[in-house]
Amino acid sequence: MAILSLAFKSLLNRRFTATLILVSIALSVSLLLGVERLRVESRNSFANTISGTDLVVGARSGAINLLLYSVFRIGDATNNISWKSYRKFADHSLVKWTIPISLGDSHLGYRVMGTNQDYFLHYKYARKRSLAFDQGQPFEQVYQAVLGHEVAEMLNYRIGQKIVIAHGAGKTSFAMHDDKPFEVVGILEPTGTPVDRTVHVPLEGIEAIHSDWIAGRQVPGLKLSAEDTLKKNLTPKQITAFMVGLKSKLATFRVQREINDYRKEPLLAILPGVALQQLWDLMSVAENALLVVTILVVAVGLIGMLTVMLAGLNERRREMAILRSVGARPGHVLLLVTGESLLLSLVGMALGLLLLYLGLFIAQPFIEANYGLHIPIDFPSLREWMILGLVGTSGMIIGLIPGFRAYRYSLSDGMSIRL
């Protein structure tokens, strides 16, 4: 303790240099822990996009492609599923519930998804959390819509407003279903998932707006009004995909095999958890690259501390000589310099933690509102403590280098004047 006390007083005597080192270490540690926490929460948020769904079924393609368009609303399906095939598996004895999905249209760049009321009952995210309404209620009529939170917030929509759906999924479309507008009847609470960026309408609504369209074009001379369309049979002929909840988890592979072996139509059933992991593995290269860059930043901070301490040793030769003259052993000088390095590392890590929490306190609402990512302000995890321990150990090891150099200085060397 006496050595640490002496090291503290020595650092106070060189407070300007010590402050620069502390700032460097604090920023490096804060960045490292911030990236680590962002990485972990991004993975958790990604994995929690869909929860409680046993299977996702679509036209036969790739598992990741099916996951992307059905869950993340990215890309398009290679083909559709007939309503007859959907009903066959929806009525399966082992199936508890299903959620049909119809994609292909958009509204001002946001994807429009046709579904039914089972979506609001059974779709879950983030460890089986159910969808909740911030305003309004689920749709009950053909020309009604429920908005994701981001859609309503970014477009400043309110309950009762009319919206027009565009044909196709692009941000700009010249084919508008403006003769059949939808009324906003509900706005969902934020979920941090693609649900926030989706306009939800009834499957019958999707059929209604396309009742006088063929191959992406309105049939000339066959323009049906919104009221006349309601008189038609609006049972869907095709859907894009559907989600499945089973009565027993033990039946998962059995039902999956039945769907994949279905001969009347080429279908693919995937386990969303497995597909999510495969997709995350594809993205892990960028994740690991970011982590490596951050580790290098910390290494640069520690090397900066080493450089400053080595550069200052020549100026401290007389100080070391005086310490030796009053009885300090070479080992004491080694412990003094190493103790200074350890103190700088520990205080720098503490300041880095403080800076991290301050940054999270300020940025957390912005990140959650704009990116749907909740980064909690809680105690460091075991992995973060291990990172801090590694940084502290590295700082102490680095301190041994100038410590050994000071150790080698002799009393006569310190008291002599070099020309």
Beta bridge partner(s), residue 111:
106, 198
Same structural domain, 11 and 81: no
The model's pLDDT over 24-49, given as tens digits with 9 standing for 90+, comes to 888 888 888 888 888 777 777 777 78
Asked whether residue 122 is assigned to any structural domain, the reply reads: yes
CA–CA dist 373, 368 (Å, integer): 5
Q: Could you give the C-alpha distances from 89 to 65, 84, 100, 243, 294, in angstroms and in order? A: 21, 9, 11, 11, 49
Same structural domain, 100 and 217: yes
Same structural domain, 75 and 181: yes
The pLDDT, as a whole number, for residue 419 is 45
DSSP 144-196: EEEE-HHHHHHHT--TT-EE-PEESSSSS-S-B-TTS-EEEEEEEPP-SSGGG
The full 3-state SS of 275-331, as one line of letters, equals: HHHHHHHHHHHHHHHHHHHHHHHHHHHHHHHHHHHHHHHHHHHHHHHHHHHCCCCHH
- Name the residue with tokens 């080192």: 21
Same structural domain, 189 and 92: yes
Count CA within 13 A, CB hemisphere, residue 207.
20
Asked whether residue 277 is assigned to any structural domain, the reply reads: no
Asked whether residue 402 is assigned to any structural domain, the reply reads: yes
Domain residues for the domain of 65 are: 55-270
* Boundary (domain end) residue, out of 216, 238, 270: 270
The pLDDT, as a whole number, for residue 382 is 87
Count up the domains in the chain and report the number. Answer: 2
DSSP 73-92: --S--SS-EEHHHHHHHHT-
Instruction: Show the tokens assigned to 169.
Output: 């999924």
Asked whether residue 374 is assigned to any structural domain, the reply reads: yes
Beta carbons within 8 Å of 373's beta carbon, 6+ residues apart: 38, 41, 42, 45, 192, 367
Asked whether residue 279 is assigned to any structural domain, the reply reads: no
DSSP 386-406: HHHHHHHHHHHHHHHHHHHHH
The pLDDT, as a whole number, for residue 313 is 65
Same structural domain, 16 and 63: no
The pLDDT, as a whole number, for residue 321 is 64
Q: Could you give the C-alpha distances from 313 to 9, 170, 373, 401, 416, in angstroms and in order? A: 16, 64, 47, 11, 15
Same structural domain, 71 and 199: yes
Same structural domain, 11 and 59: no
**Residue/partner pairs of 209-218 with CB below 8 Å, 24 or more apart:** 209/105, 209/165, 209/177, 209/180, 210/177, 213/167, 216/167, 216/168, 216/175, 217/175, 218/175
Same structural domain, 218 and 326: no
The pLDDT, as a whole number, for residue 293 is 77
Asked whether residue 152 is assigned to any structural domain, the reply reads: yes
Same structural domain, 224 and 313: no
Same structural domain, 177 and 310: no
CA–CA dist 331, 350 (Å, integer): 28
**Nearest alpha carbon to residue 165 among 186, 150, 151, 154:** 151
The pLDDT, as a whole number, for residue 279 is 81
**Nearest alpha carbon to residue 242 among 270, 283, 278, 217:** 270
The SS3 assignment for 226 reads helix
The pLDDT, as a whole number, for residue 280 is 79
Same structural domain, 256 and 386: no
Same structural domain, 42 and 60: no
Asked whether residue 211 is assigned to any structural domain, the reply reads: yes
Asked whether residue 404 is assigned to any structural domain, the reply reads: yes
- Name the residue with tokens 């580790």: 295
Residue stretches of the chain with pLDDT short of 70:
1-13, 169-174, 213-222, 311-334, 368-374, 406-419
The model's pLDDT over 53-84, given as tens digits with 9 standing for 90+, comes to 999 999 998 899 999 999 988 888 889 999 99
